[in-house]
Amino acid sequence: MKTLVVIAGPTGVGKTKTGIRIAQHFKTEIISADSRQIFIETNIGTAVPTHEELSQVPHHLIQTRHVWDYYNAWMFEQDALAIADEIFKTHDVALLVGGSGLYIDAVCSGIDEIPDIEPELRAKVNEQYLNEGIESLRQTLKFLDPDYYEIVDIQNPVRLKRAIEICIQAGKPYSQLRKEQSRERPFRIIKLALNLPREELYERINRRVDEMVAAGLEDEVRSLIPQKECMALKTVGYREFFDYFDNLTSKEEAIEKIKQNTRKYAKKQISWLKRDASVQWFPPFDEEKIIGYIEEKLT
């Protein structure tokens, strides 16, 4: 039976390297489930796999869209399923690797098409933000969709407004825009997640941010100033440097905020994954145990 192996986990935990080694063992390909690495212009700040890593195993859905393109979980579901179908023509196992919980859920369980938002509703939600501020958006989303509130970037008014619009337009929570019963897939699904003790994970995150800065993150963000209003750039690693460029903070404060906000994001990712009892947890880089678990499930 064809099998999709999901390798999830918080940012910075080591999904890329572990996924590559698992894919090499099963001689298969990787579908990226990262909602930020899909954009062409964001390279350093989203920790896109290196050219060397990409050359070791075929990867899909990495840097295939522009930051100004609209893209959502439903569109990802369609793209990922089509790629999985192609992989399964020549392989028994395919890997879905990434930390975007909504994207993973979309592939595993299905998600309904995101509805078009009526202009009147969009104007009303924007008016709420202008008159009542971001805290009002947070409380509204927490009421409408507490599950999505747990993983959304609550510092990002664009994402908060978008989620509220969808909840109201669809008449149900954004995080539950799927059928009452999960869609049947023509393949088996094995879900794994990687994690580390909190202090170790946070240390890895802080170190990776320093490496991004040394690799030229500031210049990458500066080159994107003309596109700074794109929703894809209202995310950790980019908005903090935009604030620095606007003289709202110092460079040192911007870097520290990137570390802090990345740690918060990792915590939300872990909380999202722990909702699913079918997820089996492993430390990263313990390929022997991970491969053994997968092979046991494949028999």
Q: What is the CATH number of the domain that holds 128?
A: 1.10.20.140
What is residue 178's predicted lDDT score, i.e. its pLDDT?
66
Same domain, 155 and 269: no
Cα–Cα dist 254/207, whole Å? 15
Domain range for 58 is 3-112+178-298
- As for how many domains the chain has, the answer is 2
Among 152, 176, 200, where does a domain finish?
176
Same domain, 82 and 146: no
What is residue 161's predicted lDDT score, i.e. its pLDDT?
96
Among 176, 200, 217, where does a domain finish?
176
Same domain, 171 and 293: no
Same domain, 188 and 168: no
What is residue 27's predicted lDDT score, i.e. its pLDDT?
98
- pLDDT beneath 70, residues of the chain: 178-181
Token pair, residue 39, equals 């954009």
What is residue 114's predicted lDDT score, i.e. its pLDDT?
84
DSSP output for 260-283: HHHHHHHHHHHHHHHT-TTPEEE-
Q: Nearest Cα to 32, choosing from 2, 12, 58?
A: 58
List b or e across 203-229, with b for residues whose CB sees 16 or more CB atoms inside 10 angstroms. Answer: ebbbeebeebbeeebbebbeebeeebe
pLDDT tens-digit map of 9-34: 999 999 999 999 999 999 999 999 99
Same domain, 102 and 146: no
Same domain, 161 and 283: no
**Category of 88 on φ-ψ map: left (φ > 0), alpha (ψ -120 to 50) or beta:** alpha
Q: What is the model's pTM?
A: 0.87
pLDDT tens-digit map of 63-73: 999 999 989 89
Name the amino acid, one letter, at 244.
Y
Radius of gyration of the chain (CA): 19
Name the amino acid, one letter, at 86.
E
What is residue 180's predicted lDDT score, i.e. its pLDDT?
54
Same domain, 129 and 203: no
What is residue 183's predicted lDDT score, i.e. its pLDDT?
84
Among 176, 194, 224, where does a domain finish?
176
Same domain, 220 and 148: no
- Residue 72, φ and ψ in degrees, nearest 5: -140, 180
What is residue 285's predicted lDDT score, i.e. its pLDDT?
85
Q: What is the CATH number of the domain that holds 51?
A: 3.40.50.300
